[in-house]
Amino acid sequence: MDIHEHQAKAILAEFGVPVPRGHLAFSPEQAAYACRQLGGSTCVVKAQIHSGGRGEAGGVKLCRSEDEVRSYARGLLGRTLVTRQTGAAGKVVHRLWIEEATDIAQEIYLGFVLDRKSERIMIVASGHGGMEIEQLAETDPGSLVRMVIDPAAGLVEFQARELAFKLGLKGKQVAQFVTTLRACYRAYRDLDAMMVEINPLAITGAGDLVALDAKMSFDTNALYRRPQVEALRDPSQEDPREAMAHDNGLAYVGLDGDIGCIINGAGLAMATMDMIKLAGGEPANFLDIGGGASPERVVTAFRTVLADANVGVILVNIFAGINRCDWIAKGVVQAYQEVGLSIPVVVRLSGTNVEEGREIIRTSGLPLLSAETLAEAAKLAVRARPQPVAAE
């Protein structure tokens, strides 16, 4: 789960990271008032969307008066920002962060990520901040410094000082960097984060460190024990399909294909998508319906998949252990009747009560396509897709 810049800054500030003063605004008038509270002169107006590259897309501007803030906010609120991370659809700006301007002498990149190879938290830093880490890796790979944290010891001070020296920091900056680094690590660890990024971590003209931008993302599987984090979720910034699935307790990731998938188990879902690709098709989603799915839950899964207008056929692939094939079959029939399906549905059932489930499908009187193997089901789904009309 991602959160907004101002939310990430608030969290990091609680752990001890220095951040500039700022105020949230939902209207041009609130933006102008926020500027007045910050001194009424120069301030930075930032669009709050879940994406990087906002400045390049016109979502960040240095304004020098309340009137300029008001005018810029009026043109920005409600606008769809398209960045290199949002895709062509972009994201709509519903809120702004009005922040005091900072005298910047140098910019540093600082990120905490999960390194799956070492199974440790890794720090990635560079003395050249303000750029995307991917660009840094291409244009100046030598500037990147990586450090792995031992989970038994945590981030110890000598490691933080060593990193500060590698970045060329001196004097009081070293102590400030150690404080910032350890604060970021505690926030990452204590809140089940997946990523903490400060870009840039600025050195001001006075020689102090301050976080001018911040990003945080969190492990959705741990949100049940972090209600204060889950409360920061902004559904308006999410894929509508994924937001709908989240609200119904389904594991869903939207893709670009036209074959909707309803599967139980993440591994089986991945295998199903691979098989669809091998058969010449494109999956429209990853959807894990979970164990113990009732007919009502199956109906909800159908509604979620059908929220994607690109879906032209649905493939239901269930290997029932905790689940029961007869429950799934009843759910498929119920969904067909309640939702008013008009697209082909391929059903492949295996496992507990498989014969009962197949009998329900067979005697339903509905135009359901039944398959016994995954390969057969994938081929049926690909053949059942609506064929594009040839250009004249």
> Binding site membership for Mg(2+): which residues?
199, 213
- CA nearest to 66, candidates 43, 95, 96: 43
Q: Is 133 exposed, middle or buried (0-12, 13-18, 19+ CB in 10 A)?
A: middle
**Coil, strand or helix at 322:** coil
Three-state DSSP class for residue 224? helix
What letters, b where the CB count within 10 A reaches 16 and e where it falls short, cover 78-104? ebebbbeebeeeebebebbbbbbebee
How far is the CA of 101 from the CAs of 19, 251, 288, 336, in angstroms? Answer: 11, 41, 46, 57
Residue 51 φ/ψ, nearest 5 degrees: -165, 150
Helix segments in 191-234, DSSP class H: 227-230
Q: What gap in Å lies between CA 280 and CA 33, rounded to an integer?
A: 57
Q: How far apart are CA 6 and CA 162, in angstroms?
A: 30
Binding site for substrate: residue ranges?
Answer: 264
188 catalytic per annotation: no
Q: CA torsion sign, 247 to 251 to 257 to 260? A: negative
Does residue 197 carry a catalytic annotation? yes
Best CA proximity match to 132, nearest among 83, 171, 169, 93: 83
Rounded CA-CA distance 73/87 in Å is: 23
Distance from C-alpha of 375 to C-alpha of 141, rounded to nearest angstrom: 44
Q: Are 313 and 343 in contact (CB under 8 A)?
A: yes
Distance CA(365)–CA(368), nearest Å, equals 8
CB-count burial class (<10 Å; 0-12, 13-18, 19+) for 252: buried
CB 104 within 8 A of CB 210: no
Known binding residues for ATP are 46, 53-55, 99, 102, 107
Q: Which of 5, 197, 238, 242 is catalytic?
A: 197
Q: Per the annotation, where are the binding residues? A: 46, 53-55, 99, 102, 107, 199, 213, 264
Structure tokens at 168: 């060329």
**Which residue among 5, 72, 109, 238 is the active-site one?**
109
* Of residues 259, 325, 255, the one with CA closest to residue 289: 325
Amino acid identity at 108: I
Active-site residues, by number, are: 109, 197
